[in-house]
Structure 1
Amino acid sequence: MPTLGLIHNSPMLAPVFNEIAARIMPDVRILHFVDESTIKNTIAAGWLEKATMRQVIRLVGSTFDAGCDVALVTCSSIGPAVDMAAELYEQPVLRVDRAMVEKAVATGRRIGVVATLATTLRPTADLVRRVAAEQGKHVEIIELVCPGAFDAVMAGDGATHDRIVGEGLTEGMKGVDVILLAQASMARVVASLEGAVPAPVFSSPELGMVRAAEVLRGLAR
């Protein structure tokens, strides 16, 4: 049976990805690998440290040692370390946000990137620039961090998180062609806004898992 290894920085993400997997890849075995240090140390430092990069690379290796055919890292903040891991292993190593960014660059020129953490916003915006360069397209990136939203959700105040993110999406993204959510946890807010968001919104979990399913099918051929 084909096996996908999912590397998370929070145990709360496992059910989200299990639900997607059940819909789009029911014939794939899913193994979850969780290490909260990768995001907590990155937030504390304010950037992605070399020690965290090495830890991400070790985690990717652990998925392959456990029998996984493909590794998918579900955190955008550690994206540069995922790119390094992809160079070091023979098996496919995927960033959860790559497919989302490719779709956004193909969709419009003014791309909004919304996050609740600067440490997540930067890698996502950098990936937009890189994909645009690869595709020979000129894009304008409008970056928005929703202040206070991350602290609220970490304190268990989901309502305040959703209100702050909702205001950012409806007020801060006017005039863009497409909006990217740098964090998967923000997707539920879009669903609650019922058409008030001024542009199409792309979130990484669904598109990232579709990409992983495509890669797994390619390996099986």
Structure 2
Amino acid sequence: MAHIGVAHVTRLAKEPIRAAFAEFWPEAKVTDFGDYDLPPVRAAAGCETPEIKHRIASLAAQAMDAGVDGLLFTCTAFCESIDQVAERLPVPVLKPNEAMFREALMNGGRVGLVATFAPSLQAMSDEYAAIAREVGGNPELQTAYADGAMSAALSGNSWKHDTLIAEAAQSLGKCDVIMMAQLSMTSARNTVRELTGIEALTSPASAVKMLRFMIDEQARASSLQAL
């Protein structure tokens, strides 16, 4: 049984990622690690400072000490820090949106991105462009910020959270697919579809399926080396 570490900076991401594991990888053992004071630090800094990189690395160190076979980060505004961690760890490390980006690029056409945490927009746009160049896709991305949606979710108002996200998605104009930036935005998927008539992608399912594939491939490679 694979032991997967999931690193969070917001508790809002826990439920959707747990639901994705239950559906797509129920036999995996999942352990959560969290640093829930990081989002305001990141927002105030405007970039990934040495302190932020150290704290992301500390989450990874906690996971490795627990003996995980793979590590999934659910935070979207810390791509540079996660990349540095991934270079040093002997286990697969996945950023939350990589699989979703690849799925959107496979669909082709004009792609939109809606976020409830403003600093994630630039980081994710850069990450999306890098993957687009890698696969030969269109790096252009239309973005929108759902102001107030995360605060609504934190206060328990899921209807307002979903509505603000859908309205932000509608402001994107014509898109062929819309991506939800934060894992905690999964609940808004149907509302976005109903208001815009456009397919909406969320990252939890894509991330869990991709990490499972990475772990399985690593296990197969190890088995072949042992022969």
TM-score (norm 1): 0.91
Q: Percent identity?
A: 26
Cα separation, 2, equivalents of 1:22 and 1:163: 27
Task: Note the aligned Cα RMSD (angstroms).
Answer: 1.8
Larger displacement relative to structure 2 (8-17 or 77-86) = 8-17
Asked if structure 1 preserves the Cα contact closer than 8 Å seen for 2:192 and 2:198, the reply is no
CA pair 183-12 structure 1, distance change in 2 beyond 3 A? closer
Q: How many pairs are equivalent?
A: 220
Residue 218 of structure 2 is matched in structure 1 by 219
Q: Shift in Å at residue 145 of structure 1? A: 0.9
**Residue 142 in structure 1 maps to residue 125 in structure 2:** no
Check the 8 A contact 1:60/1:93 in 2, yes or no.
no
Q: Which runs of 4+ in 1 moved over 4 A?
A: none
Matched residue SS, 2:136: coil
Q: TM-score, normalised by structure 2?
A: 0.89
Q: How does 1:114-193 map to 2 (within 5 A)?
A: 114-169=114-169, 171-193=170-192
Q: Distance in 2 between matches of 1:47 and 1:198?
A: 35
Determine the C-alpha separation between the residues in 2 that align with 1:139 and 1:152: 31
The 5 A counterparts of 1:61-100 are 61-100=61-100
Aligned residue number for residue 45 of structure 1: 45
**Higher deviation after alignment, 134-143 or 113-122:** 134-143
Q: Which runs of 5+ in 2 are unaligned?
A: 221-227
Select between 38-47 and 23-32 the one with higher mean Cα deviation.
38-47
Are 1:96 and 1:209, in contact at CA under 8 Å, matched by a contact in 2?
A: no
1:84 alignment partner AA: Q
Q: 1:86 to 1:196 in 2, by over 3 A?
A: same
Shift of 1:194: 5.4
Distance 1:121 1:80 in 2: 14
Distance 2:114 2:138 in 1: 20
Deviation of residue 28 (structure 1)? 1.4
Say whether residues 1:30 and 2:30 are aligned partners. Answer: yes
Cα deviation code 1:44-78 (max 9, x no counterpart): 32332221111111211221111101011011111
Give the deviation of 1:215 after TM superposition.
Answer: 1.4
Task: Map Cα deviations across residues 123-144 of structure 1 (whole Å, 9 max, x no partner).
Answer: 1111111011111223321111
The amino acid that maps onto 1:60 is: A
